[in-house]
């Protein structure tokens, strides 16, 4: 099996160099590839490109996409593999032989549907996500392409619960130097969008569970679908806590942000009205 790592970065060249160099030292599989997803207007990051020359490293430099998921998903075309691992620029993998350990975990389910996580970063999410190519293709990408920041790992880990295919992998990411999120605007709005997109997550999960090659007993498939309500409630409980987080100021000239925000607002308003719960756009269950 082959592993490709999608590492997204922006405006943190110092963190990036440390993360890549440390992670490369702990790779042991000759087929593993690390793809650095950089934005063409991020001149600080591009300035360290020559410091990270290695046959196992590929750079993907494109205009900054609107959605965070779009940036991560590029790895599926640039470096197709059996398993994709996602990384951030401030958290190197410090476990020796981590790539082989992760690939071993990805083979627990012979049918090829697996989402691999490591240690919990908090009470809600793990430090790291990885997913098999087969499952990512069925999901339409490693991550969804609705959100400007955050929420993508939340989405994937909820899908893991819906499908019953969450596999633990004992590798460690060094998150001690974690900086603040860049461009964290209106977190409650994006939490609301996540909540109202639950029908999309259910549709994808049902499609996969009902696939002939999804290797589960009929009883297990029924149980997985019955438990969707639990994961809806889990996500709602997490995102409801965002109501008191003002986030950063929104500017009228932030075209990139508004291209995602405007359809998100419209979607939420229509969803709220369709459910007879008013039209104020607040996060509701």
Round to whole Å and give the CA distance between 145 and 19. Answer: 25
Round to whole Å and give the CA distance between 226 and 213. Answer: 20
Fold that domain 3-168 belongs to in CATH? Spore Coat Polysaccharide Biosynthesis Protein SpsA; Chain A (3.90.550)
Round to whole Å and give the CA distance between 139 and 35. Answer: 21
The SS3 of residue 129 is: strand
Round to whole Å and give the CA distance between 170 and 205. Answer: 26
Q: pLDDT tens digits, the chain, 285 residues: what are they?
A: 999 999 999 999 999 999 999 999 999 999 999 999 999 999 999 999 999 999 999 999 999 999 999 999 999 999 999 999 999 999 999 999 999 999 999 999 999 999 999 998 888 889 999 999 999 999 999 999 999 999 999 999 999 999 999 999 999 999 999 998 989 999 999 999 999 999 999 999 999 999 999 999 999 999 999 999 999 999 999 999 999 999 999 999 999 999 999 999 999 999 888 886 543 444 444
Please give the pLDDT value at position 123. 80
Judge whether 37 and 75 are in contact, CB under 8 Å: yes
Closest CA to 148 of 262, 271, 11, 245: 262
Closest CA to 36 of 80, 71, 66: 71
Judge whether 205 and 228 are in contact, CB under 8 Å: yes
What are the boundaries of each domain within the chain? 3-168, 187-274
What the block records as the tokens of 71 is: 């940036």
């Amino acid at each position: 099996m082959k592993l490709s790592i999608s590492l997204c970065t922006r405006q943190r060249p110092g963190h990036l160099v440390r993360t890549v160099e440390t992670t490369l030292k702990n790779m042991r599989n000759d087929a593993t590839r690390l793809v650095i997803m950089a934005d063409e207007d991020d001149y600080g990051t591009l300035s360290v490109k020559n410091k990270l020359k290695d046959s196992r490293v590929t750079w993907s430099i494109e205009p900054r996409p609107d959605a965070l998921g779009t940036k991560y998903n590029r790895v599926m075309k640039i470096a197709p593999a059996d398993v994709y691992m996602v990384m951030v620029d401030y958290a190197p993998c410090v476990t020796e032989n981590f790539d082989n350990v992760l690939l071993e975990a990805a083979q627990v389910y012979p049918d090829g549907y697996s989402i691999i996580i490591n240690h919990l970063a908090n009470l809600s999410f793990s430090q790291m996500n990885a997913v098999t190519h087969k499952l990512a293709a069925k999901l339409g990408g490693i991550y969804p392409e609705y959100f400007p920041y955050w929420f993508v790992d939340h989405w994937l880990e909820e899908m893991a619960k819906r499908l019953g295919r969450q596999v633990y992998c004992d590798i460690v990411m060094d998150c001690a130097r974690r900086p603040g999120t860049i461009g964290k605007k209106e977190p409650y709005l994006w939490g609301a969008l996540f909540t109202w997109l639950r029908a999309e997550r259910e549709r994808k999960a049902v499609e996969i569970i009902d696939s002939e090659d999804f290797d589960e007993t009929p009883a297990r498939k029924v149980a997985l679908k019955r438990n969707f309500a639990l994961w809806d409630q889990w996500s709602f409980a997490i995102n409801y806590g965002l109501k008191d987080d003002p986030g950063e100021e929104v500017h009228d000239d932030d075209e990139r942000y508004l291209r995602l925000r405007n359809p998100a607002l419209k979607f939420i308003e229509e969803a709220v009205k369709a459910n007879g719960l008013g039209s104020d756009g607040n996060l509701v269950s």
